[in-house]
Structure 1
Amino acid sequence: MPFSSLLYEISDRVAYITLNRPEKRNALHPQLVAEIKQALTDAAHDDAVKLIVLKANGPAFSAGADLEYLQQIRHFNLEQHIQDTKDLCGLYEQIYFHNKVVIAWVQGHAIAGGCGLAAVCDFCYSTSEAKFGFTEVKIGFIPAIVSVFVSRKIGEGRAKALLLSGELISAQQAEQLGLIDEVFPANDFMEKVQQKLQNLLYGASAFSLMQTKKLLHQVQDVPIREALERAIMANAEARNHPDCRRGIDAFLNKQHIHW
């Protein structure tokens, strides 16, 4: 599908998905949600893509819900609200369960749904000036879908404090909570996140990244013995993969491996 609300490009095995509604502070609306999902699908099925970067043009990463769309949903019936919520849930699920590592580059404020979009990624790096928060309760909404992911990520107690207060926090506070991974000054941001990208891109097997992410999801909600059985099988299967043999050969021969 042609994209009108984002930019999609592949460079050096990285798919860059760039939210491109700077005049609307990259607020989420159905068209943008659908386009992000399509871009993620394209990247999932492209063997030339190893990593995915989600970023945005303009001063904000994403301000959450689009104001014009909020006007429309005031007139929705229950069935329409359910479908609309399912669409957004599908986006978060697609990122969370994606077969490739998804990295958020947050160069400006990430609020409400935009904060959820950043938090659900496998890695999230931010400029020091950015603010984060789930402000839904302040306007009579609830941070419903994102609460499931955020409570898993930072724990119930921290999630309650963040989701119930509706307060905005600094990037440094978000890092301390475990909501995001690392904060960099704006003038060093691109250099630092590119270094992080290169470490994943050339320092780790694509197969290993994919299978590790998959296993982490599989063992979340099962009894420990079942989780260990799944881990045993995943480990055995990985040892049979060509990447493992290649890695062992390089290690034994004291060679640097360039994935």
Structure 2
Amino acid sequence: MQFQALLDSVPLSILFLMFVLSAMLISEAGYRVGHWWQRETPEEKEGPTNMIVGSLLGLLAFMLAVTMGMSSDRFDTRRAMTLAEANSIGTTYMRAGYLAEPAATQSRTLLSEYAPLRVVSKNPDPNDIIAGIARSQEIHTELWSIAEELARENPNSPLIALYIHSLNETIDLHETRVTAGIYARLPITVFILLLATFVLTLGMVGYSAGLTGRRSPPTAVVLIVVLGGVLSLLVDLDRPAQGLVIVNQQPLIDLLEQINTQTLSE
């Protein structure tokens, strides 16, 4: 978690520039080592260096594809959970009308307070997230207490049973969404292994160019920039509410508008 917190604290543009500059230095270092080695041992043949470089590039492409799949799956899960939670809160709010007064008004008031807490703003303050989760859990307790009392008074009411079912789903989706947004991140091991593969591959590309004494700086720059862009996209997808690619909160925003409209009409 400390590594992820450190990675999340770095802006995406800075992270991209750091990777590009570091990759250029690694490639240049590999070139100089290869050139020095060829000069010191001119009688030796190059060996299977090009084949090894090709294998490393293939392995890098495979790891990028796997990691991209993992990141996109987590992003899709967060997006699906947002829509599911909006639908669940909306259903619970409507079914709260089945309840007798004052439980109906109390429940809808709490749900009106609860819905805005579920909207995640872009680049949120971590303290605001913690406070929002804590208040959400308090509202869960209050809503469940009201439902429990009504269930005891009307144990055979199908309408109350429908409301409790929706409320239970809303509470469950809270924990599911928190887990998907905060804890379901790419494993640190994957990031470390991916970075190590980047370093070794770019170093070997430069080393191979140094052995032959021929290199194309524009080609190397394009390769590094493209790899930097892919790596930045991976990091961006893994950040729940930061960067350029974030989960659209429109389902919850639409729900808030519906609740406000219904509240004004009442």
Q: Which has the higher contact order (CA 8 A, sep 6+)?
A: 2
Q: Which has the higher strand share?
A: 1
Shared topology, TM-score over 0.5? no
Give me the TM-score of the superposition, normalised by structure 2: 0.19
